[in-house]
Amino acid sequence: MFKLTLSLIALMASFTLGPAVHAAGTESAPPNTRPADADYDKGKKALEDKNWKLAIESFGKVASRNPRDADSQNYLGFAWRKAGNLDMAFKHYNEALRIDPDHKGAHEYIGEAYLMVNNVAKAEEHLVRLDKLCLFSCEEYRDLKKAIEAYKAAHQGTGKPRS
């Protein structure tokens, strides 16, 4: 009976504490459940290498095979933004958020893109959304918050970049 009680306590603790421990970053991330995809892997490597053209090509192939893949849409947005095409970046970020309204990476990156077009209010909307999505803060929230603070410091209420 004692062993059964102890086992039940341990099981309940894993359900109760598991998400909090993971959210706090003290537990390793869950294993990658994404199916193997050479184009996706090539796209990730291209992003690391800052090869935006190859990343766009690779994630474009992934997205054409699986249009409901929010991650590939988000990475397409990121690569387009880094390549300097904000219209295409917004298109893919918005598609990622249409597919998965809780996609943290897309909220962060679209917020950063809004800063590039001097739309702090829209960037802050995505920061508020991330605040709700991230129980104990998260990297995406911290990164966007830092970008907004840096933007505001550089523009000091003028609405325009300092020269």
Instruction: State which CATH number among 3.40.50.2300, 3.10.580.10, 3.20.20.140, 1.25.40.10 fits the domain covering 39-155.
Output: 1.25.40.10
pLDDT for 10: 41
CB 81 within 8 A of CB 108: no
Q: What is the pLDDT of residues 52-80, one digit of tens each?
A: 999 999 999 999 999 999 999 999 999 99
State the alpha helices, DSSP H only, in the chain: 2-23, 38-48, 52-65, 70-83, 86-99, 104-116, 120-133, 139-155
- Alpha-carbon distance 157 to 163, whole Å? 14
- What parts of the chain have a pLDDT lower than 50? 2-31, 162-163
| pLDDT recorded at residue 156 | 85
* pLDDT at residue 70, rounded to an integer: 97
Predicted local distance difference test score (pLDDT) of residue 161: 55
Q: What is the pTM of this model?
A: 0.75
The domain spans of the chain are 39-155
